[in-house]
Amino acid sequence: MGLFKPFFFIFVFKFIIIRLLRGVFMTNKELADLIFPDITWTIEDYEKKYPNREVGSGYVTRFAPSPTGFVHIGNMMQALTDYFLARNTNGIFYLRNEDTDTKREVDSAVDKIMDVFEYVGFKPDEYEYRGEIVGNYGPYVQSERKEIYHAFIKHLIEIDRAYPCFCSAEELDVMRKKQDAKKVQPGYYGAWAKCRDLSNEDRAARIKNGESFVIRFKSMGNPNRKIQYEDLVTGVIEFPENNNDMVIMKSEDKLPTYHFAHVVDDHLMHTTHVVRGQEWLPSVPLHIEMFTAFGFEIPKYIHNCLLLKQDNGVRRKISKRKDPEALMEYYVEKGYPSIAVIESLMTILNSNYEEWRDNNPDKSYLEFEFNPTKVGTTGALYDLEKLDNISKNIISKMTKDEVYDALYKYASVYDQEFAKIISENEEMTKAILNIEREQEKPRKDFACWSDVRKSIWYMFDALYKPETYEWGKISGRDDIKSVVDLYISKYYNENDDKDTWFDKIKACSTELGYAANMKEYKANPDAYKGNVADISTVLRVALTSKSQTPDLYWIMKLLGKERILARFEQI
Ligand code: GLU
């Protein structure tokens, strides 16, 4: 009994002290409940709601743009990488709308993205569009995931890895200026992080008092220590640890910042590979610290290179303000076949793609074996001339019917006058499009559908109103007339085959004092006024007003006698 007494008193004493302290000190859990009184789901509940995906070794990738109302060609390259990796490995490709920055948001932005996806033929496996959610890991719009983020932030507050910060914009501005003047690391850390060590009681009092606050992540990092991180593109990189207490929840709308939303979403949606622009590389230490704070597996990262443009001898970033080709709309409006855009981006994404393409001309790009170490680590030159060449090559391999259908589809949206004209002359249009096509070495003249009208307008009477004629060596009116008159009266016959037609042009040339072939002309140039090419040029320009056209024989065949006579009359 004598021994029992002191234990009894110690027990009662401890009980009273704890009770008293509880009244004075506030636990993190109590603070978290005060900030998020309505959040009842825990992170474990969400883990259960979004279980592991059954994709085996397939990659889970996402395209996660901010809804700014345009799709930059650099974003397209990321989307292509995402789509490609998922399709190539039988994985999942999903679309997530990162709309937490409401200041930059544009209403029709998702429509724009879906339009671009339709253009390039990317169908996401999971997405949210016009209120419909497809997939079990949604919502796929960040502003609709607020409760989820709050549950995860609540958890961080409970485990002492996040706290409310009451610093005003002005205070932060003063802090930044002081840091600037002292030339020290900018940010909210160490002695600069004024709200980091407030007591929970102070915090609670200020919250109850209606002060506005953000939530900051409480970093445990030390920049004197290094972390190693392996990017699939750059390989292993060493970074100083993050020590910046970054904002993870904003005050006005209580939405998370990109850094936090990315961690939560890519975890819950089970993204295996995060593909994004190189501008996010410096944030990697922060992201790794957050994944680690939750005990989550860190996804693999592919930081794609920036796209550059050669401008007056200097390489600079492609800019949406200066360069129309920076936006995907440009390609849609010009009428590039989307596969040409994809192919040109693939050549940038992997340095061995072109070689593979040369060896496998008929395979789909999706069969290519992507190697992230072959992605450029610095900027890559994005070259429109190269795109044109790729596109010309692709179009040259299409049949006349394929070209006609694609052209008509394009023109029905972007050039209705032309759509009407070609549909009223469908057979002739196909025949025009077939000049030097569907043969072993086809003509490579169109890079995009808007090129077609510019190149064949003169074949349609409705459009044939030449303002100028691109005459060549023979440009005097009388000389032109004498070529045309002799040819039409003595040599032209609409039923001639190609060889006879050409023999007659040669004969006409000889009669006019021009060499019938180049060899004769070169051997004795002084003996002639010129050569057969000069005569053909006169006929070509007289009929089309252009000096460059597809094969003249076919142009004459398709124009027919009546129109030929009428056009000769016109000059
Ligand atoms: N919303 C971010 C952006 O548009 C996405 C970055 C990412 O893909 O993680 O830059």
pLDDT at 23 (0 to 100): 52
Contact present, 332 and 119 (Cβ < 8 Å): yes
Q: What is the pLDDT of residue 467?
A: 87
Residue 377 pLDDT greater than 90, yes or no: no
pTM: 0.88
Angle, alpha carbons 156-162-164 (nearest 5°): 130
- Atom 3, ligand 1: residue with shortest CA distance: 65
Across the range 192-206, mean pLDDT stands at 97
Closest-lying ligand 1 atom to the alpha carbon of residue 68 = 4
- Nearest Cα neighbor of 472 from 527, 549, 524 is 549
Contact 535, 551 (CB under 8 A): no
State the pLDDT at residue 371. 82
What residue owns the CA closest to ligand 1's atom 10?
65
Q: What share of the chain is helix, strand, coil (3-state, %, to 5)?
A: 50, 10, 35
Q: How far is the CA of 5 from the centre of ligand 1 (A)?
A: 66
Task: Say if residues 366 and 87 touch (Cβ distance below 8 Å).
Answer: yes
Over range 384-413, report the average pLDDT.
97
Q: How far apart are the first and last CA of the chain?
A: 130
Confidence of residue 9 (pLDDT cuts 50, 70, 90): low
Ligand 1 closest atom vs CA 98: 1
Name the closest-CA residue to atom 9, ligand 1.
276
Could you tell me if 225 and 241 are in contact, meaning their C-beta atoms sit under 8 angstroms apart?
yes
Higher pLDDT, 511 or 373: 511
Q: What are phi and psi of 227, to 5 degrees?
A: -115, 150
Does residue 11 register a pLDDT over 80? no
Mean pLDDT of the 134-157 span: 97
Distance CA(85)–CA(83), nearest Å, equals 6
CA-based nearest residue to 79, from 62, 66, 67: 62
Going by pLDDT thresholds of 50, 70 and 90, the confidence category of residue 379 is: confident
Query: Dihedrals φ, ψ of 190, to 5°?
Result: 50, -135
Average pLDDT, the chain: 93
Q: Which atom of ligand 1 is nearest to the CA of 275?
A: 8
pLDDT digits (tens, 9 = 90+) for 242-288: 999 999 999 999 999 999 999 999 999 999 999 999 899 999 999 99
What beta strand segments (E) does 359-462 contain? 380-381
For residue 351, pLDDT over 70 is answered with: yes
Q: Which residue has the tokens 């607020």?
A: 146
Please say whether the beta carbons of 229 and 236 come within 8 A: yes
| 466-571 CATH choice from 1.10.760.10, 1.10.10.350, 3.20.170.30, 1.10.1040.10 | 1.10.10.350
User: For residue 6, is pLDDT > 70?
Assistant: no
CA of 29 to the centre of ligand 1 (A): 32
Average pLDDT of the residues in 177-196? 97
The rounded Å distance from CA 63 to ligand 1 centre is 8
pLDDT, position 10: 58
Atom of ligand 1 nearest to the CA of 280: 6
**Which pLDDT does position 435 carry in this prediction?**
94
Name the band, by pLDDT with cuts 50, 70 and 90, for residue 378. confident
Average of pLDDT values for 328-343? 97
What was the pLDDT predicted at 158? 98
Beta bridge partners of 273: 61, 300
Distance from C-alpha of 372 to C-alpha of 224, rounded to nearest angstrom: 30
Residue 291 to residue 288: CA distance in whole angstroms = 5
Q: Are 142 and 255 in contact (CB under 8 A)?
A: yes
Look at residue 205 and give its three-state secondary structure: helix
pLDDT digit string, tens, across residues 285-307: 999 999 999 999 999 999 988 89
Q: Name the β-bridge partners of 514.
A: 530
In this structure, what token pair is assigned to residue 364?
Answer: 């789909």
* Cβ-proximal residues to 34 (8 Å cutoff; 6+ apart), any chain: 204, 207, 208
Mean pLDDT of 511-538: 94
**What single DSSP character describes residue 559?**
H
Position 4 pLDDT exceeds 90: no
Compute, in angstroms, the gap from residue 65 CA to the centroid of ligand 1.
Answer: 5
Average pLDDT for 420-438: 96
Ligand 1 neighbours, Cβ below 6 Å, are 64-66, 98, 258, 262, 274, 276
Over range 314-326, report the average pLDDT: 93
- 48 pLDDT band, cuts 50/70/90, is very high
For helices 426-433 and 416-424, angle between their N-to-C axes, nearest 10 degrees = 100
Q: HSE on the CB side for 342, CA within 13 Å?
A: 21
pLDDT of residue 438: 87
Tell me how far the alpha carbon of residue 274 lies from the centroid of ligand 1, in angstroms. Answer: 9
Residue 28 CA to residue 451 CA, distance in Å, equals: 66
What proportion of the chain, given as a percentage, has pLDDT over 70?
Answer: 95
Which of 66, 112, 145 has most ligand 1 atoms within 8 Å of CB, for mutation? 66
Where do the structural domains in the chain lie, given as residue ranges? 146-304, 466-571
pLDDT band at 450 (very low <50, low <70, confident <90, very high): very high
- Phi first, then psi: give them for residue 175, nearest 5 degrees: -60, -45
Cβ-count burial of 377 within 10 angstroms (0-12 exposed, 13-18 middle, 19+ buried)? middle
Residue 346 C-alpha from the chain's centroid: 12
As to burial, measured by CB atoms within 10 angstroms (0-12 exposed, 13-18 middle, 19+ buried), residue 242 is buried
pLDDT (tens digit, 9 = 90+) per residue, 189-198? 999 999 999 9
- Is the pLDDT reported for residue 15 higher than 60? no
Indicate which residue's Cα is closest to atom 7 of ligand 1. 276
- Fold classification of 146-304 (topology level): Rossmann fold (3.40.50)
* Residue 19 in this model has a pLDDT that exceeds 70: no
Interval 55-111: pLDDT, tens: 999 999 999 999 888 899 999 999 999 999 999 999 999 999 999 987 666 667 888
Quick one: which atom of ligand 1 is closest to the CA of 62? 8
Q: Using the mean position of ligand 1's atoms as its centre, give its distance from the Cα of residue 371 in Å.
A: 22
Beta-bridge partner residues of 515: 531
Among 77, 83, 94, 276, residue to substitute to test ligand 1 (most atoms within 8 Å of Cβ): 276
**327-353 mean pLDDT:** 95
With a cut of 80, say whether residue 24 has pLDDT above it. Answer: no
Q: What is residue 213's three-state secondary structure?
A: coil
Mean pLDDT over 154-171 rounds to 98
Whether the predicted pLDDT of 420 surpasses 70: yes
Mutate-to-test residue for ligand 1 from 72, 80, 96, 98, highest number of ligand atoms within 8 A of CB: 98
Distance CA(96)–CA(124), nearest Å, equals 10
Nearest-angstrom CA–CA distance, 121 and 537 = 43
For residue range 461-478, what is the model confidence (pLDDT) as tens digits?
A: 999 999 899 999 999 999
> What backbone phi and psi angles, to 5 degrees, belong to 413?
-95, -45
Q: In this structure, what DSSP letter does residue 106 have?
A: -
Q: For 66-86, give the DSSP string.
A: ---S--BHHHHHHHHHHHHHH
DSSP state string for 140-153: -BGGGGHHHHHHHH
* The pLDDT value given to residue 7: 58
Per-residue pLDDT, 5: 60
